[in-house]
Amino acid sequence: MPPVSNGRPKGGHEAENDDTQASKNPFTRYYAQLLHQQNMMQDNIRTGTYRNAFLTHKADFQDKVVLDVGTGTGILAFFAIQAGARKVYAVEASGMAKHAETLVKANGLEGRIMVVKKRVEEMELPEMVDIIVSEPIGFLLVHERMLETYLTARDKWLKQGGLMFPNAGDIVMVPFTDELLYNEQLGKTAFWSTSKDFYGVDLTSLQKDAQAEYFAQPVVGYFHPSCVLAPSAPVRHRVDFLCVTHADLQSFQVPFTFRAERTALMHGMGCWFDIEFAGSGAGGNTPVVLSTSPAAPGTHWYQCRLLLPEPIAVNRGQTVSGSMQFTANEHFSYDLLLTVRLDGTNIQCSTAIFLQDQSYHYLNHPVVTPVGDPQAAGIGALGGEGGNWAPAMNTTA
């Protein structure tokens, strides 16, 4: 997913047809470039898991008509054909559609993969489809708001009883401690707190406002499982793509309660997502899971950390509760409101975070944990394609 600044991707050329609605979406312009498609395609966890999910559920794809939403280069359409699909409608609103057509022709699949250069909201197909596939995922699952397009395709073109790959996604949250990260972010405001004579002007009165802006940025990067204060009980909020509504995604809340498993300063919430490919269950196949957990191999999505403006001292056994409110915004992303309470005390804080204004943090390397070896990371239990814990469950559906 692209790095963004002020709700817009960094870089990117204009897509074709600048007067279309699609070209007004900054992510459409971003994805019209092969170098950005390459970045995603070379994420072997992402690409390999999608292919594995399709091939694992070959019985579902055999002789079926498939719709690929946001096909990009067409890679998922090719995977659908490899899994046995009879026909694929590959929809792409950006200028990348011409490259998808080139690949379809070069691979001799003109009669089976039809590239449709339209927005999903505007396209017309000659038939309903058996399966919809897509990679509509952004940071923290919902950034970019492509899930809404996925749902539009479902509502208009999926047959009754049809399948979606992926069929669900989970937002996962844990409390974390990381004094180095907190001090690093706080240190970025030193310019304002120390500039009492900046060319004759005292700037220190703006330090608090500057701090609020820095701490409103989600920190995107890998973090080590050892940072987690409640590793055995993360909270998981499920979004079921088969039945969630557009209204559900406009505003939703994730409540949480954690019991600290060690004494430390809590600096905020660590977050990631998992997506699931369950298929129909035909042939006894188990769901394939793509996880971006800190206990799983790294992906281009990394993880997110949401910092509190002031850390909270938590003793082992104390309970931390609160909620995260998600509200869709005009930047193709979400405004977050994180509220945290230390139960049994009067300590409480709330902070606003803007998901589109990511700060990138590359000091840590991805944790590569062999599948089925949870103790190697010392956190939870792995399954499927990566971290697959057994936390408390909330549902958006």
DSSP string, 177-238: --HHHHHHHHHTTHHHHH-SSBTTB--GGGHHHHHHHHHTS-EEE---GGGBS-TT--EEEE
Residue located via tokens 């800190």 = 294
Nearest to 57 by CA among 243, 274, 385, 287: 287
The percentage of the chain sitting over the pLDDT mark of 70, rounded to a whole number, equals 84
The percentage of the chain sitting over the pLDDT mark of 90, rounded to a whole number, equals 80
Q: Which CATH number fits the domain 170-360, given the four candidates 2.70.160.11, 3.40.50.300, 3.40.50.970, 3.30.1490.20?
A: 2.70.160.11
pTM: 0.85
pLDDT score for 344: 94
| Cα–Cα distance, 256 to 176 (Å, whole number) | 14
Average model confidence (pLDDT) across the chain = 87
Residue 140 burial (10 A CB sphere; 0-12, 13-18, 19+): buried
pLDDT score for 321: 98
What is Dmax (Cα atoms) for the chain?
75
pLDDT score for 136: 96
The mean per-residue pLDDT over the stretch 154-169 comes to 99
pLDDT score for 383: 31
State yes or no: pLDDT of 6 exceeds 70: no
The mean per-residue pLDDT over the stretch 3-17 comes to 37
Compare 392 and 114 and report the one with higher pLDDT: 114
Q: Which of 43, 240, 261, 357 is catalytic?
A: 43
pLDDT score for 25: 66
User: Which range among 32-46, 111-125, 193-207, 308-322 shows the weakest confidence by mean pLDDT?
Assistant: 32-46
User: Which range among 11-25, 142-156, 261-275 shows the weakest confidence by mean pLDDT?
Assistant: 11-25
State yes or no: pLDDT of 14 exceeds 80: no
pLDDT score for 367: 46
pLDDT score for 75: 97
Q: Which of 122, 197, 300, 365 is catalytic?
A: 300
Residue 209 structure tokens: 């406002």
Nearest to 324 by CA among 353, 357, 292, 356: 353
Q: Which of 68, 92, 130, 144 is catalytic?
A: 144
pLDDT interval class at 359 (50, 70, 90): very high
pLDDT score for 27: 64
Residue 17 structure tokens: 């047809």
Is 365 among the residues known to form the active site?
no
Sequence-ordered list of residues with C-beta below 8 angstroms from that of 363, at least 6 positions apart, any chain: 180, 221
Q: Where in the chain is the domain with CATH 3.40.50.150?
A: 21-135
pLDDT score for 7: 38
State yes or no: pLDDT of 201 exceeds 60: yes
| Cα–Cα distance, 357 to 140 (Å, whole number) | 13
The mean per-residue pLDDT over the stretch 263-278 comes to 98
pLDDT score for 19: 40
| Cα–Cα distance, 271 to 334 (Å, whole number) | 15
Compare 16 and 185 and report the one with higher pLDDT: 185
pLDDT score for 369: 36
State yes or no: pLDDT of 208 exceeds 60: yes
State yes or no: pLDDT of 59 exceeds 70: yes
Is 300 among the residues known to form the active site?
yes
> Beta strand pairing status for 251-259 and 129-134?
unpaired
pLDDT score for 251: 99
Is 184 among the residues known to form the active site?
no
Q: Where in the chain is the domain with CATH 2.70.160.11?
A: 170-360
Q: Which CATH number fits the domain 21-135, given the four candidates 3.40.50.150, 3.40.50.1980, 3.30.1300.30, 3.60.150.10?
A: 3.40.50.150
Q: Which of 135, 170, 178, 385 is catalytic?
A: 135
| Cα–Cα distance, 339 to 321 (Å, whole number) | 8
| Cα–Cα distance, 128 to 17 (Å, whole number) | 28
User: Which range among 5-9, 72-76, 225-229, 382-386 shows the weakest confidence by mean pLDDT?
Assistant: 382-386
State yes or no: pLDDT of 24 exceeds 70: no
| 8 Å CB contact between 16 and 8 | no
State yes or no: pLDDT of 141 exceeds 70: yes
Residue 337 burial (10 A CB sphere; 0-12, 13-18, 19+): middle
pLDDT interval class at 35 (50, 70, 90): confident
pLDDT interval class at 26 (50, 70, 90): low
pLDDT score for 284: 80
User: Which range among 157-161, 176-180, 238-242, 278-282 shows the weakest confidence by mean pLDDT?
Assistant: 278-282
Is 135 among the residues known to form the active site?
yes
State yes or no: pLDDT of 371 exceeds 50: no
